[in-house]
Amino acid sequence: MRLSFYTYSYTDRLEMPLVPVLERIAATGYDGIDISGTHGKSDDPQSVSLELRELTRKTAERLKLKIEAVITHAELTQTLLAGKPLDLKGSVDLAVDVGAPVVTFHMGGAGNADPQDVWERSVAHLKDAARHAEQRHVKLAVDGIWPPWIVNTPQLLMKLFDDVASPSLGVNYDPCYLVLMGLDPAVVARLWKSRIVHAHLKDHAGRYPKWEHRIPGRGEMDYLPVVQALKAIGFTDSLAVEAFTDMKFETACDVGYSTVAAALQKGGVRD
């Protein structure tokens, strides 16, 4: 398993300069990065200019950081209901430009709309996007499950996989949110198995619906069972440390790395 750092809170939300951020991540010991699929306040992947794509790719290459995933932010269902569908094809093309193998997206809920209609529209959109992704050797990954969403149980996500029926559709495994929902991440990992193509590791205090995010290692999460569960199903891809804008970058970078690296070492995944 590789260890990466998700840059969005810092390079995008806090507008920290890209190159020094990536240099700090590399110096800490990370293998790679996750990047935002948009730039600024836009939900359009075209907002990531050609110049920014090239700078990101070349800087990562110079620092020997693998760009592990492109992360989108808008909820798919809400964009469909608003008549402005999430441009997953454009996000896949962005991933190709920077050399990332995965694009993640948030599913979203039905709101006041008919849940079955929203489900069917989402499946149709994902089938089309998955065909585009498969042709370009990129995986699409649902960014976990969440109570208000139309995929709010591990079993419903399996149904989505069946309905879309594409090997290019997987899941971004987020054990923190599973714990917040009262689920056992190891049990869920065994259910999803090879559909897990990427992972985000964050920390928390509390339970849904009342909790707060913490830097990995400073909350309630125990990452060793997570590492052991992923190892048991043969997962060998990237675990990305995820932190938020109220967490100092240098601290999140250092503490996140030391916490997850220790779990990987104890789990027999890394020396």
Query: What pTM did the predictor assign?
Result: 0.97
- Angle at which helices 223-232 and 249-266 cross, to 10°: 50
Query: Nearest Cα to 105, choosing from 132, 86, 84?
Result: 86
Give me the pLDDT at residue 148, please: 97
Give me the pLDDT at residue 271, please: 78
User: Please, what are the domains in the chain?
Assistant: 2-266 (3.20.20.150)
Tens digits of residue pLDDT in 157-213 = 999 999 999 999 999 999 999 999 999 999 999 999 999 999 999 999 999 999 999
Taking phi over 0 as left and psi of -120 to 50 as alpha, with beta for the rest, 171 belongs to beta
Tens digits of residue pLDDT in 31-80 = 999 999 999 989 999 999 999 999 999 999 999 999 999 999 999 999 99
Segment 245-266 shows an average pLDDT of 98
